[in-house]
A and B are shown apart, each in its own frame.
Chain A
Amino acid sequence: MLSQNSAARHAEMKLSSLSRERIFALALIAPCFLFVVVFAFYPILYSFYLSLHRIILGIPSLGQPFTGLENYRDLLHDRIALHSLANTLLFVFISTFLEILFGLIIALVINRHFRGRGMVRAAILVPWAIPTVVSSQMWRFIFNDQYGLLNYILYGSDTSRYSAWLADPVYAFSAIVAADVWKTSSFAALLILAGLQVIPDELYEAARMDGAGAWQRFRRITLPLVKPAILVALLFRTMDAFRVFDLVFVMTQGGPADSTNVLQFYGYKKMFTEGLMGYGSTISVVVFLMALAVTLLYIRVMGKGMLKAENA
């Protein structure tokens, strides 16, 4: 009886110490969790709630009627939204591709040993550290038709040949892509560099002994082993590219002829300029869902990639 009792008490103590630990752990997580709830979950859910209503700030007499999925139906038939979506996807595809490509090249270069490598590594980060609004303004000046640097580089003082880059739909779109690639390739390079550094030198030595050339070493060793890092960079860049806004806002305001109008900017216009809170939120939710889908896809692929790398 007595021993039973003490055993029970013992178990209880053990349990309580265990649960105390759990409570402590929860207490440690709580602030972070609360932070995420307040700043991430709540706005997302609220956007979703808004997207199911018709809310027009200019006409408060309409009230805020619940309209179900009407906003989503309208979005499917909104030719400007579809055009902006096409622009966004094109932007994501081209800019991410170029950023990863340049990122890889930069990473390979700064992974080598050379004098002043530390300086170069720090310098590479400068574009990334400049706030996008500032760098967009800078690029707007570079592409200016009267005093832009690009025109000066191409045509010197022959001002009659100066071109209005941002006035042409195709060039304006390319300008946005160029500005984004310039700014964030270094970020991709940083992530890829981290991946490069964990590749042991022995592998290269062994390959060299076996007579593998530089290209073979890159194809067979570097690329497969750096793949997880590339995927991480790809994930970050894709998600960021989906949310492109400031570049467009500063450089072109979506023009000319909507050629640089992207989904996020269109949603901003709807919400903040036109006061269509419900419809604007619908666009935000759609952008969120697309970014989420891409993320899930990458995580699946990346998970597999990581496993393979470990097995190897």
Chain B
Amino acid sequence: MKNLLRSVREYHMNEQGVRHGLIQGVFMCFFILLLLAPAGCTKKAEEGGTTLHFVTWKPNIPEAWEEIYSIFRAEHPDIELVKEVGPHSSTAFHDLLTQKLKNRSEDVDVFLMDVIWPPEFAAAGWAAPLDDMFAPSERKEFLDGAILANSYNGRIYGVPLFIDSGILYYRTDLLEKYGFSPPRTWREMVEQAVKITSGEAGKGVEIYGFSGQFKQYEGLVCDMMEYILSNGGNIINPETGRSGIAGKHAVEAVRFVRDNIIGKIAPPGVLTYQEPESLDIFIQGKAVFHRNWPYAWEVSNNPKRSTVAGKVGIARLPHFPGGRSYSTLGGWQAGISSYSKNKEAAWTFVKFLTSERIQKLLALKAGRAPTRKKLYGDAEILRAYPHFSGMKDVFLTAYPRPRTPLYPAVSNVLQRYFSKAISDPSSDIEKEAVAASREIDRLLALTK
């Protein structure tokens, strides 16, 4: 900056030397940057104990995580826990983490894995198999679906930390006021939303019907999958193992979203929303219905952050007539890098993080649904989250996204297709679906 200003000043002093001075300034800047670059990378000297690097994302409720870290530090003074905080978005976090693992970085010991990653991380050799440490008897304590998500070719690569599944949030006060019970079909939801928003608009209250996640990113696949499955369609046909998105029911569901949700009961802005933005609308009291993961319960009922605290209800996601309700399985796992030099300390931390008491803490303070079966009968958790008992089978039956080591590539095709189909009212959904199907089948064929 200084050099830049200096070169600007040189204009006045020496008009002939304008270019010269500028170029010099630019080079100086560059040179200084080069000198500074390695300084940031120098490692702290290790003093006897083990340094453990934990790569995690930016949490929604940081206080809960800080508490967990401080408990661990107090109990394990010999392990110096260094956390590296990546971006909130799963896709961006994936790119950062895999970049480190690709380079066999020793600065990664323990990392969080999205539920869709274990096959990829296992196949690429990034995640260390945990069979020796994570005993089968111990695995029985966890939800079956979560364990399955961490298994690949008969080995296990992660320990489930918390589970996610799509849930419908709604405004209890508004539904009551207009005499509605939570909608069972998507059509019902649209009708209720239209009635409530127009009724409220008459009183000068500006409110949207619905908010969800429809930006071109991983969350779009989660949201759209719920519509498709609840109409009897599928992403990958379980019988043929090939893409099912060009099927009649799948296309119908996508068309419903485009024609009835985007820009209709939901603001067009949802096309740019990930979870935080869509939740903002809801907690500001500007949406009747909202689709999100379980953590939104905690946030929307927190009077410090939410204007609708105490007026929030949750229900299963709606479905189409003749179909049944589906939730996308999400959730995060703790994994250990194959290149970690401190696997023992890493396992200590993973065991701690996924233990009953920490999962309970995460449930109580961060609203994260536990992966240990036992906690669904825990009195304290049920008192704070009465819905956990009623929603237990939603968590148990949450539907996984396609399990393939090439999932990121498959997901990119899906994201592109869904985004195109729902954001462009003139797009030919059938044609786009067929083209996307062909691309997905080509990718799936590579792994066979």
Q: Which one of B22, B125, B415, B424 contacts A190 once the chains associate, using CB atoms below 8 Å? A: B22
| C-alpha gap A169/B95 in the complex (Å) | 25
Query: In the assembly, what is the distance between CA of A252 and CA of B269, in Å?
Result: 12
Contacting pair B406 A56 (CB below 8 A): yes
- Contact in complex: A257, B408 (CB < 8 Å): no
Which size bracket describes the interface of A in this complex?
35 or more
Q: Which residues of B contact A253 (CB under 8 A)?
A: 91, 215-217
Whether B124 lies near A122 (C-beta < 8 A) is: no
Q: Out of B215, B424, B435, name the residue touching A169 (CB < 8 Å).
A: B424
CB-nearest residue of chain B relative to A39? B34
Q: Does chain A have a CB within 8 A of B447?
A: yes
Contact mask for chain A residues 151-176; partner B; CB cutoff 8 A; 1 contact, 0 none: 00000000110011011110000000
| B12 close to chain A: CB less than 8 A | yes
Option from A62, A125, A276 in Cβ contact (under 8 Å) with B409: A276
A87-125 residues with Cβ-Cβ distance < 8 A to B are 118, 121-122, 125
Select from chain A the residue with minimum beta-carbon distance to B16.
A198
With A58-B120, A59-B405, A194-B19 as known contacts, state yes or no: A272 contacts B4, CB within 8 Å.
no
CB-nearest residue of chain A to B281: A146
Given the known interface contacts A60-B125, A118-B12, the answer about A197 and B18 at a Cβ–Cβ threshold of 8 Å is yes
> Which of B123, B269, B407, B446 gathers most chain A CB within 10 Å?
B269
Tell me whether A221 is interfacial, beta carbon within 8 Å. Answer: no
Question: B435: which of A58, A79, A194 is its contact (CB, 8 Å)?
Answer: A79
Known: A56-B406, A169-B424, A272-B99. A145 touches B269 (CB 8 A): yes
Taken together as a complex, chains A and B put the C-alpha atoms of A263 and B272 apart, in Å, by 21
- Asked if A167 and B123 sit within 8 Å, CB to CB, the answer is no
CB distance from B404 to the nearest CB of A (A): 8
Q: Given A129-B4, A164-B268, A197-B15, decide whether A255 and B94 contact each other with a Cβ distance below 8 A.
A: no
Chain A's closest residue to B409 (CB) is A274
CB of B74 closer than 8 Å to a CB of A: no
Chain A neighbourhood of B409, CB < 8 A: 58, 273-276
Q: How far, in whole Å, are A252 and B19 apart by their CA atoms in the complex?
A: 36
Whether B95 lies near A272 (C-beta < 8 A) is yes
Query: Do A58 and B99 touch across chains, with their CB atoms under 8 A apart?
Result: no
Inter-chain contact A273/B269, CB cutoff 8 Å? no
Identify A58's interface contact among B15, B124, B270, B427, CB under 8 A. Answer: B124
User: Could you tell me if A255 and B123 are in contact, using CB atoms closer than 8 angstroms?
Assistant: no
Q: Give the nearest-CB partner of B416 in chain A.
A: A258
B135: Cβ under 8 A from any A Cβ: no
* Pair A269/B412 contact, Cβ less than 8 Å: yes
CA distance A274 to B406 in the complex (A): 7
Query: Quick check: is B178 within 8 A (CB to CB) of the other chain?
Result: no
Query: In B243-280, which residues have CB < 8 Å from any A CB?
Result: 267-272, 280
- Check: B419 CB closer than 8 A to any chain A CB: yes
Whether A275 and B408, one on each chain, are in contact in the complex, defined by CB atoms closer than 8 angstroms, is yes
How far in angstroms is the closest Cβ of chain B from A147? Answer: 9
Chain A's closest residue to B420 (CB) is: A257
Known: A256-B216, A257-B216. A164 touches B269 (CB 8 A): yes
A267 at the interface (CB under 8 A from B): no
Indicate if B98 sits at the interface (CB-CB under 8 A): yes
Q: Are A254 and B206 CB-contacts (below 8 A) given A194-B22, A274-B408?
A: no
**A164–B281 Cα gap in the complex (Å)?**
14
CB pair B11 A122 closer than 8 Å: no
Counting chain B CB atoms within 10 Å of each CB, the highest count among A56, A122, A129, A160 belongs to A56
Q: How far is the CA of A116 from the CA of B216 in the complex (A)?
A: 46
B405 engages A58 (CB within 8 Å): yes
Enumerate B114-145 residues with CB–CB distance to A below 8 Å. Answer: 120, 123-125
The number of chain B residues with a CB under 8 A from chain A is 49
- Whether the Cβ atoms of B123 and A58 lie closer than 8 Å is yes
Cβ distance A204 to chain B, nearest Cβ, rounded Å: 16
- Using known A-B contacts A58-B405, A129-B4, determine if residue A273 contacts B419 with beta carbons closer than 8 Å: no
Q: Which residues of B contact A163 (CB under 8 A)?
A: 268
CB distance from A90 to the nearest CB of B (A): 17
B39 at the interface (CB under 8 A from A): no
Contact call A256/B423, Cβ cutoff below 8 A: yes
- Measured in the bound complex, the distance between the Cα atoms of B427 and A246 in whole Å is 28
* Contact between A254 and B216, CB atoms less than 8 A apart: yes
Q: Does A294 contact B (CB under 8 A)?
A: no
- Closest A residue, CB atoms, query B91: A273
Q: Does A57 contact B (CB under 8 A)?
A: yes
Chain B minimum-CB-distance residue to A110: B11
User: Which of A121, A146, A256, A269 is within 8 Å of B271, CB to CB?
Assistant: A256
Chain A residues with Cβ below 8 Å from B420 are 257-258
Chain B residues whose C-beta falls within 8 Å of the C-beta of A297 in the assembled complex: none
Nearest opposing residue in chain B for A164, CB measure: B269
A37 in contact (CB, < 8 A): no
Contact B424 A255 (CB under 8 A): no
B5 at the interface (CB under 8 A from A): yes
Complex-state Cα separation, A166 to B19, whole angstroms: 39
In the complex the two chains form, is B267's CB within 8 Å of A145's CB?
A: yes
CB-based contact B272/A166 at 8 Å: yes
Q: Which of A56, A57, A80, A252 has the most CB of B within 10 A?
A: A57
Q: Are B22 and A255 in contact (CB-based, < 8 A)?
A: no
- B-side contacts of A61, CB under 8 Å: 123
A56 to chain B: which residues have CB within 8 Å? 406, 446
Contact A164 B267 (CB under 8 A): yes
Interface pair B18/A122, CB less than 8 Å apart: no
In the bound complex, how far is the Cα of B423 from the Cα of A252, in angstroms? 13
CB-nearest residue of chain A to B271: A167
Chain B residues with CB below 8 A from A254, complex form: 216
Q: How far is the CB of A261 from chain B (nearest CB, A)?
A: 8
A58 touches B424 (CB 8 A): no
Whether A167 contacts B269 by the Cβ 8 Å rule is yes
Q: Which residues of A contact B270 (CB under 8 A)?
A: 167
B1 at the interface (CB under 8 A from A): yes
A169 touching B267 by the CB < 8 A rule? Answer: no
A60 to chain B, nearest CB (A): 6
Question: A253-B217, A256-B272 are known contacts; what are 19 more A-B pairs with Cβ within 8 Å?
Answer: A57-B98, A57-B102, A58-B408, A60-B123, A79-B435, A122-B5, A145-B267, A145-B272, A190-B22, A255-B217, A256-B216, A256-B419, A257-B419, A257-B424, A273-B95, A273-B412, A274-B409, A275-B124, A275-B409
Q: Report 20 cross-chain contacts, Cβ distance below 8 Å, ordered by A residue.
A: A56-B446, A57-B98, A60-B123, A121-B8, A122-B5, A166-B271, A166-B272, A167-B271, A167-B272, A194-B18, A197-B18, A253-B91, A255-B215, A255-B272, A255-B419, A256-B215, A256-B271, A256-B419, A257-B423, A258-B416
By a beta-carbon cutoff of 8 Å, the part of chain B in contact with chain A is 1, 4-5, 8-9, 11-12, 15, 18-19, 22, 91, 94-95, 98-99, 102, 120, 123-125, 206, 215-217, 267-272, 280-281, 405-409, 412, 415-416, 419-420, 423-424, 427, 435, 446-447
**Top 10 A-B residue pairs of the complex, sorted by shortest distance between their CB atoms:** A255-B216, A145-B269, A164-B269, A167-B271, A58-B405, A274-B409, A256-B423, A257-B420, A164-B268, A257-B423
